[in-house]
Chain A
Amino acid sequence: MSAGKTMNLTLHVWRQPSGTSQGRFVTYPAPDISPDMSFLEMLDVVNERLIAKGEDPIAFDHDCREGICGMCGMMINGQAHGPRRATTACQLHMRSFEDGDTITIEPWRATAFPVVKDLVVDRNAFDRIIAAGGFVSTHTGSAPDGNAIPVPKTAADQAMDAAACIGCGACVAACPNASAMLFTSAKVSHLGLLPQGQAERDQRVLKMVATMDEEGFGTCTNHGECEAACPKEIRLEFIARMNRDFIRAGLRNRGERAGSGGTG
């Protein structure tokens, strides 16, 4: 353990009072930081000092501080959630940095995620993508026995891999096109891999992709930055899966539409 030693850092932090105002970088010294602190605890300390000096603390989103709620998220030295693989900002510890380092901290940058204040952005576009089709339409109380629908272990495991997404938005922030393909494909795949998700499989992918486009997310040009930035290691192969589902659903949907007189 590194108890006792502390480090001195310099922070360049994006400050923006509100969504409609101009933002800029402000430099803050951050002396006496323990390597055992999490990144957010380091910001807590900086904020306590700012408040003591009568300045406005840095606003940032966070809640669970366990890497599961998806609320935290910021660009740290140009990387979504910072340098450590498969780690959210709240789980990143200062021992990942060196004494004397300069750290640049910015909000997610994407048209679909407008800045609210400082490092806080609005990610409700993600909720709207889910609302468009990221569910199984089942009414409370109508379910058959849990074991009436056997699910092969491999399908369950793969579905779980996709379902592990925490909706933090790092994939969008890391992508040069600000695409939400990794996020959307994770949900499409989670439900599409399970027998329960089959009835709505086509509609789901069509509606979710349409909403994704409407919300102003960019297109995927296979950079793979999203996978590298994802704190839950959601895999690119889910995007390929979604693309297949999308094409198939488009074809089938066209057929159906023609057959049913175009009510779609």
Chain B
Amino acid sequence: MELKANAPSGPIETRWERHKFEMKLVNPANKRKYSLIVVGSGLAGASAAASLAELGYDVSCFCYQDSPRRAHSIAAQGGINAAKNYQNDGDSVFRLFYDTVKGGDFRARESNVYRLAELSVDIIDQCVAQGVPFAREYGGVLANRSFGGAQVSRTFYARGQTGQQLLLGAYQALERQIGLGKVEMYPRHEMLELVVVGGKARGIVARDMITGALESYAADAVILATGGYGNVFYLATYAKGCNVTAIWRAYKKGALFGNPCYTQIHPTCIPVTGDHQSKLTLMSESLRNDGRIWVPLKKGDTRPPAQIPEGERDYYLERKYPSFGNLVPRDVASRNAKQVCDEGRGVGASGFGVYLDFADAIKRLGASVIAEKYGNLFDMYERITDENPYQVPMRIYPATHYTMGGLWVDYNLMTTIPGLHCLGEANFSDHGANRLGASALMQGLCDGYFVIPYTIGHYLASNKLDKVGTDAPEFKQAEQAASERTRTLLDVKGTRTVDSFHRELGKLMWEYCGMARNKQGLETALQKIPALREQFWKDVRVPGQGAELNQSLEKAGRVADFLELGELMCRDALTREESCGGHFREEHQTPDGEAQRDDQRFQHVAAWEHTGEGQAPKRHQEPLDFEYVHPSQRSYK
């Protein structure tokens, strides 16, 4: 299979403009004759559904929560990047493009990244027009901050609730279209199957989560915007319901899965306290702008932080990376935290934590300035840990936070199944092997507001789409497959709960496919995951019935898919014998412990093809060319 990226050539600044012109259009009067399914109502899905409905398409939108407003995007705290250069500090579209390609460790497609940077400015305009209450300066203009390893101030934010406000903007636009009858919204519906007819994506099967009914929906094209799959690690900063099911079903129907092993471990999360823990909470990394990260110089130093004198502290990021200091990219910050803890210098009861200390900032700026900037985060920290970060340093530790991998898509955001498009975190997208802070929100909205409205038209106008109804045999087969899975899960009637399997899988993934990976560990995981999966299907206990609201059953279906995905991630990590961004293979590091890429062998996207149950998936490659940003060893010293 040849992977056609369909990215235009020519000067990079003109590619998207030209591509837009060259794409076919659907006549305005004809748009209402086309039906589109959008699965997901996060930033990517809600912005797409609203914008497509505004254009006149007949849109159906699905989400598993009780309301589209609750999608996981709501939890994003820190901000959204845009190359506005409002601060006059030397930012530009090219610089954002450059930073993103470099930050991703040269594993993303240049054309896509450039388009993302170019459209970033429109996103801010769009959101302001919707009434998103971004932070402002006293003069009334938009405020910015620097964020996540950037040396310019290009991040727009709404207190510590940027994701919430952007999502509410998109949600309100979506509700407006729902009110106008242009979008049919299906909350509490979980997509369980993709339906492919005549080689094209023509619909889905979803479960009504209240009645348990399996329902078929047909359309002319399907758009998946179902978010990331980081919950494969069980403990993660994701909302509990986030899952891989939608894109995994698509993978099994022939969509290629790009770079599954690229996951992001966020450096500033609250450390684990015990086995009861159900999720990890992120502390926005904007905290790294003012907080200083340190551990004791000596191993096993259990003195309270206040009793450790300056000279016996190791501000290891400032020491190792003098020019970026505490603001090094996430992968670098996370790995260094792991390293000092592995050396026995970690803090807190478990020893898996490092200090994030605001004492200096409070001295310099005053507690009230710190409270204004981070008050809600400090409160959240206190609520969870019962410690007051104004008085004692926060303890933080890395946690899974984002997945750069996802369904492979071309420049038009179409997967390898014609008609199946994929947006937002669910696609393998623009971040390469490591995502920079404040760029996921940007990508989700870029895909939804400004890319798919054009590219979907091109697909619809260039393909002859026969009428397909839900009575087609492909729908019946998909319904049957979904119903059989449900029945099998309920019929096992074993002894272990779904959560216990999920926890065990999470531990395996964290240990062998987490912040640092090696051949032996990955091979071990590739033995253990299939064994765990087998045990799951023999011994899981899912109480209740299929035809009712059954949260255990929902979880069971998701965990069943994670148990397959985990294996693919390990396989991908094992095959990629280099380190790049968030993918750190211990065998491949520079003398001072940084990620060592192997551009000769791995300057490509790995895209995996499902070849049948029980058979090894096939690895395809999309070579990556760098015409504008020349691959170099990333250095943040």
Contacts and interface: CB of A to CB of B under 8 A. Distances in A.
A57 B551 contact: yes
A108 B172 CA distance: 24
Given A140-B453, A147-B86, A156-B136, A70 B70 contact: yes
Contact of B142 (A65, A140, A147): A147
A36 B165 CA distance: 30
A91 B185 CA distance: 29
B239 interface: yes
B279 interface: yes
A1 B141 CA distance: 44
A65 B483 CA distance: 30
A141 to B, nearest CB: 7
Contacts of A41: 276-278
A131 B176 contact: yes
Nearest to A207: B179
Interface stretch (A189-197, A217-225, A249-257): A189-197
Contact of A71 (B50, B70, B137, B379): B70
Contacts of B380: 66-67, 91
A77 to B, nearest CB: 19
Contacts, number: 226
Interface in B198-240: 210, 239-240
Interface string B358-371: 00000000000000
Nearest to B348: A1
Contact of B141 (A38, A93, A117, A150): A150
B136 A132 contact: no
Interface in A44-73: 44-45, 48, 51-52, 54-57, 59, 61-71
Contacts of A95: 386
A9 B187 CA distance: 35
Nearest to A55: B543
A54 B494 CA distance: 10
A233 B82 CA distance: 31
A102 to B, nearest CB: 21
A40 B278 contact: yes
A166 B74 CA distance: 9
B239 A144 contact: no
Contacts of B12: none
Contact of A196 (B131, B168, B278): B131
A159 B172 contact: no
Nearest to A18: B548
A162 to B, nearest CB: 8
A136 B129 CA distance: 8
B383 A34 contact: no
Contacts of A63: 65, 70, 72, 239-241
B158 interface: yes
Contact of B125 (A59, A87, A144, A157): A144
B69 A127 contact: yes
B543 A65 contact: no
A86 B548 CA distance: 33
Contact of A68 (B127, B161, B185): B161
A51 B67 CA distance: 28
A169 to B, nearest CB: 10
A8 interface: no
Contact-size category for A: 35 or more
A237 to B, nearest CB: 17
Given A136-B129, A136-B130, A136-B131, A164 B161 contact: yes
Given A1-B349, A91-B380, A144-B129, A124 B543 contact: no
A159 B131 CA distance: 9
B159 interface: yes
Contact of B173 (A135, A150, A156): A135
Interface string B263-282: 00000000001101111011
Contacts of A71: 65-66, 70
A64 B86 contact: no
B171 interface: yes
A34 B276 contact: yes
B465 interface: no
Contact of B124 (A126, A135, A146): A146
Contacts of B124: 146
Contact of B131 (A128, A141, A197): A197
A82 interface: no
Contacts of A37: 274, 276
Nearest to B55: A140
B178 interface: yes
A44 to B, nearest CB: 6
Given A63-B239, A152-B136, A69 B70 contact: yes
Contacts of A143: 122, 125-126, 128-129
B54 A64 contact: no
Contacts of A1: 273, 349, 385-387
A68 B74 contact: yes
Contacts of A30: none
A194 B281 contact: no
Given A69-B239, A140-B450, 5 more contacts: A51-B552, A63-B65, A63-B241, A124-B67, A130-B171
24 contacts: A36-B386, A38-B278, A63-B65, A63-B240, A65-B239, A66-B279, A66-B380, A68-B161, A91-B384, A123-B67, A130-B172, A131-B175, A132-B179, A134-B175, A140-B450, A140-B453, A142-B129, A146-B134, A147-B141, A150-B141, A153-B138, A160-B133, A160-B158, A196-B130
